[in-house]
């Protein structure tokens, strides 16, 4: 069984939780940016994320690690793939949010943890305990209930699930070799041509909104780089330190928050079956937390015995 230092595990969990909390409130932020449309908004997210990352590189003096990555074609290709995947995720998410389909985006992120955990098992060969499999089974039932209630093909939800699930896998693969800031810098860099084309097209058709709707709107739109980069940096920090199976369960924070935003704040239509699916998800989370508690107790017992012979050891298991 793999093990990770306790401090690194703690940082990883905290980083992942922070990322998913921020992603949970992003729909409200995007709605504040009206009348900016989805294509212009995503273009600014790309461009301003790149600028923000350059500032971070200058502050942290992180140019050397970036140059090391640039000289490795395989890593460059993986960062390009990650960039394409996160672009698809951003564009679909913003299109759905501004179209009043926040509940369906939450469906995508309800499904995503299942895919993430299964990727961890079948691609990265991470091990699951029995209760974790039970949690996955219960969560799968919840997703089926929600999908059934949705009616019709949930292309938004499945696009978000596929793009972000594979993005997480790619980040996990390159994690040991690419630090969070360098990775996001390169991902944003590869997307700059797409962002430029979108801004030109929007400018020639409906017109750009940046600077055309007052100082407050311009300031909020300029903040898009920070709002985009910070949770992604936290996510990258988390995936480097904890297993995808743990990441998969923490991910439920985001869809729960988005679901509540869509239903309680935006008053989107809510069916009884969706409420049932929502409740089943919480059962799955409870089972997973019970498993973590039991695993931690077993570890403390075994670690206590080991420490008697090897003082100073401080590791905890990664599922």
Q: Which residue has the higher pLDDT, 284 or 274?
A: 284
Query: What is the arithmetic mean of pLDDT over 198-219?
Result: 94
pLDDT at residue 35, as a whole number: 94
> Is 49 within 8 Å of 184 (Cβ atoms)?
yes
pLDDT at residue 302, as a whole number: 73
pLDDT at 317 over 60: no
Question: CA–CA separation, 298 vs 253, rounded Å?
Answer: 26
For residue range 216-273, what is the model confidence (pLDDT) as tens digits? 999 999 999 999 889 988 987 887 788 766 776 787 788 889 988 999 999 888 778 7
pLDDT at 40 over 90: yes
pLDDT at residue 255, as a whole number: 86
pLDDT at residue 1, as a whole number: 41
173 Cβ contact partners less than 8 Å away, ≥ 6 residues apart: 78
Residue 31: pLDDT band with limits 50, 70, 90: very high
For residue range 138-197, what is the model confidence (pLDDT) as tens digits? 888 887 887 777 666 778 988 998 898 898 888 878 877 888 889 889 999 999 999 999
Q: Which helix (H) or strand (E) holds 3?
A: strand 3-5
Question: CA–CA separation, 116 vs 239, rounded Å?
Answer: 11
Structure tokens at 272: 């009884």
Q: Which helix (H) or strand (E) holds 317?
A: strand 315-317
Question: CA–CA separation, 146 vs 109, rounded Å?
Answer: 12
Q: Which helix (H) or strand (E) holds 315?
A: strand 315-317
Domain ranges of the chain: 7-301
Polymer length in residues for the chain = 319
Closest Cα partner for 242 from 299, 318, 129?
318
Q: Which residue has the higher pLDDT, 300 or 88?
A: 88
Residue 97: pLDDT band with limits 50, 70, 90: very high
pLDDT at residue 308, as a whole number: 53
CA atoms in the 13 A half-sphere facing the CB of 33: 29
Closest Cα partner for 278 from 255, 261, 262?
255
pLDDT at 53 over 90: yes
State yes or no: cis peptide before 35, omega within 30 of 0. Answer: yes
Query: What is the arithmetic mean of pLDDT over 272-283?
Result: 81
Instruction: Centre a 10 Å sphere on the Cβ of residue 272 and count the other Cβ atoms it contains.
Output: 8
Question: CA–CA separation, 230 vs 224, rounded Å?
Answer: 10
Question: CA–CA separation, 265 vs 258, rounded Å?
Answer: 10
pLDDT at residue 244, as a whole number: 63
pLDDT at residue 117, as a whole number: 74
Closest Cα partner for 185 from 297, 57, 99?
57
Question: CA–CA separation, 299 vs 266, rounded Å?
Answer: 44
For residue range 103-126, what is the model confidence (pLDDT) as tens digits? 889 888 877 777 777 787 888 787
pLDDT at residue 235, as a whole number: 82
pLDDT at residue 126, as a whole number: 79
Q: Which residue has the higher pLDDT, 305 or 138?
A: 138
For residue range 2-24, what is the model confidence (pLDDT) as tens digits? 455 667 778 888 899 999 999 99
pLDDT at residue 51, as a whole number: 94
pTM of the model: 0.80
Phi-psi region of 36 (alpha: psi -120 to 50; beta: other; left: phi over 0): beta
């Amino acid at each position: 069984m793999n093990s990770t230092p306790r401090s690194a595990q703690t940082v990883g969990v905290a980083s992942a939780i922070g990322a998913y909390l921020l992603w949970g409130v992003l729909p409200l932020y995007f709605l504040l940016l009206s009348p900016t449309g989805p294509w212009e908004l995503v273009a600014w997210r790309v461009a301003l994320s790149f600028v923000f990352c350059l500032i971070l590189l200058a502050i942290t003096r992180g140019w050397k690690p970036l140059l090391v990555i640039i000289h490795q074609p395989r890593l460059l290709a993986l960062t390009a793939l990650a960039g394409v995947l996160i672009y698809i995720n951003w564009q679909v998410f913003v299109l759905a949010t501004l179209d009043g389909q926040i509940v369906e985006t939450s469906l995508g992120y309800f499904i995503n943890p299942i895919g993430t955990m299964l990727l961890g098992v079948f691609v990265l060969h991470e091990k699951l305990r029995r209760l974790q499999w039970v949690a996955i089974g219960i969560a799968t039932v919840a997703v089926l209930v929600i999908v059934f209630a949705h009616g019709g093909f949930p292309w938004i939800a499945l696009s978000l699930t596929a793009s972000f699930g594979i993005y997480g896998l790619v980040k996990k693969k390159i994690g040991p070799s690419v630090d969070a800031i360098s990775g996001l810098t390169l991902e944003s860099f590869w997307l700059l041509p797409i962002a430029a084309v979108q801004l030109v097209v929007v400018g020639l058709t409906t017109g750009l909104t940046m600077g055309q709707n007052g100082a407050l709107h311009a300031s909020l739109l300029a903040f898009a780089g920070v709002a985009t980069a910070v949770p992604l940096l936290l996510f990258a920090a988390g995936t480097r330190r904890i297993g995808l199976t743990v990441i998969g369960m923490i991910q439920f924070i985001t869809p729960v928050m988005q679901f509540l935003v869509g239903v309680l704040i935006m008053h989107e239509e809510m069916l009884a079956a969706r409420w049932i699916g929502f409740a089943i998800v919480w059962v799955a989370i409870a089972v997973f937390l019970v498993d973590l508690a039991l695993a931690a107790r077993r570890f403390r017992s075994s670690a206590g015995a080991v420490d008697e012979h090897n003082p100073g050891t401080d590791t905890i298991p990664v599922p």
